[in-house]
Structure 1
Amino acid sequence: MIGQPPDILCIGSVLWDIIGRSPTAMRLGSDVPGRITRLPGGVAMNIAMTLRRFGLAPGLLTTIGRDPEGDELVAACARMGMVTDHIYRSEDLPTDRYMAVEGANGLIAAIADAHSLEASGDKILRPLADGRLGSAAAPWSGPIALDGNLTEALLADIAGSALFARADLRVAPASPGKAERLLPLLAHPRATLYVNLEEAGLLCAAEFSSAPEAAEGLLARGAHRVLVTHGGKPCADGLHGAGVISDSPLPVLVTRITGAGDTFMAAHLVAERRGEDRAQALASALRAAAIYVSGEIGS
Structure 2
Amino acid sequence: MSARPDILCIGSVLWDIIGRSALAMRQGSDVPGRITRLPGGVAMNIAMTLARFGLRPAVLTAIGRDAAGEELVAACGRLGVETRFAYRSDDLPTDQYMAVEGANGLIAAIADAHSLEAAGEKILRPLGDGALGSAAAPWAGMIALDGNLTVHLLAEIAGSPLFAAADLRVAPASPGKAERLLPLMGHGGATLYVNLEEARLIGHEAYDSAGAAAEGLLARGAARVLVTDGGRACAEGARGAGVIVDHPPQVMVTRVTGAGDTFMAAHVVAERRGADRAAALAAAIRAAAVYVSGEAPA
TM-score normalised by structure 1 residue count:
0.99
What is residue 243 of structure 2 aligned with on the other side? Answer: 244
Conservation of the 8 A alpha-carbon contact between 1:10 and 1:61: yes
How many corresponding residue pairs?
A: 298
Q: Deviations over 1:200-238 (max 9, x none)?
A: 111111101100000010011010000000000001001
Q: Output the CA distance in 1 between the equivalents of 2:48 and 2:80.
A: 9
Question: Do structure 1's residue 52 and structure 2's residue 26 form an aligned pair?
Answer: no
Q: Output the CA distance in 2 between the equivalents of 1:265 and 1:81.
A: 18
Q: Output the CA distance in 2 between the equivalents of 1:198 and 1:288.
A: 21
Where structure 1 has 5 or more consecutive residues not aligned to the other structure, the ranges are none
What is residue 265 of structure 1 aligned with on the other side? Answer: 264
User: Which residues in structure 2 correspond to 1:1-299 (within 5 Å)?
Assistant: 2-299=1-298
**Secondary structure in structure 2 of the residue aligned to 1:140:** coil
Q: Deviations over 1:15-71 (max 9, x none)?
A: 000000000000111000000000000000000011011100101100000000000
Conservation of the 8 A alpha-carbon contact between 1:3 and 1:85: no
- Cα drift, residue 288 of structure 1: 0.3
**Secondary structure in structure 1 of the residue aligned to 2:186:** coil
Q: Deviations over 1:118-150 (max 9, x none)?
A: 000000000000000000000001100000000
Q: Output the CA distance in 1 between the equivalents of 2:113 and 2:3.
A: 28
Matched to 1:185, the amino acid is: L
Where structure 2 has 5 or more consecutive residues not aligned to the other structure, the ranges are none
Matched to 1:245, the amino acid is: I
Conservation of the 8 A alpha-carbon contact between 1:16 and 1:73: yes
- Cα drift, residue 83 of structure 1: 1.3
Q: Output the CA distance in 2 between the equivalents of 1:164 and 1:267.
A: 23
**Secondary structure in structure 1 of the residue aligned to 2:218:** helix
Conservation of the 8 A alpha-carbon contact between 1:14 and 1:42: yes
Q: Output the CA distance in 2 between the equivalents of 1:121 and 1:83.
A: 20
Q: Output the CA distance in 2 between the equivalents of 1:78 and 1:163.
A: 27
**Secondary structure in structure 2 of the residue aligned to 1:186:** helix
Q: Output the CA distance in 1 between the equivalents of 2:152 and 2:27.
A: 35
Q: Output the CA distance in 1 between the equivalents of 2:186 and 2:216.
A: 13
Conservation of the 8 A alpha-carbon contact between 1:13 and 1:62: yes
- Cα drift, residue 3 of structure 1: 2.0
Q: Deviations over 1:158-191 (max 9, x none)?
A: 0000000111100000000000000000121000
**Secondary structure in structure 2 of the residue aligned to 1:244:** strand
- Cα drift, residue 84 of structure 1: 1.3
Identity %: 76
User: What's the C-alpha RMSD, in Å, of the aligned pairs?
Assistant: 0.5
Matched to 2:27, the amino acid is: L
Q: Output the CA distance in 1 between the equivalents of 2:245 and 2:99.
A: 31
- Cα drift, residue 87 of structure 1: 0.7
Conservation of the 8 A alpha-carbon contact between 1:148 and 1:173: yes
Q: Which runs of 4+ in 1 moved over 3 A?
A: none
- Cα drift, residue 292 of structure 1: 0.4
Q: Output the CA distance in 1 between the equivalents of 2:62 and 2:4.
A: 19
Q: Output the CA distance in 1 between the equivalents of 2:23 and 2:225.
A: 35
Q: Output the CA distance in 1 between the equivalents of 2:153 and 2:257.
A: 25
- Cα drift, residue 4 of structure 1: 2.6
Conservation of the 8 A alpha-carbon contact between 1:4 and 1:83: no
- Cα drift, residue 79 of structure 1: 1.1
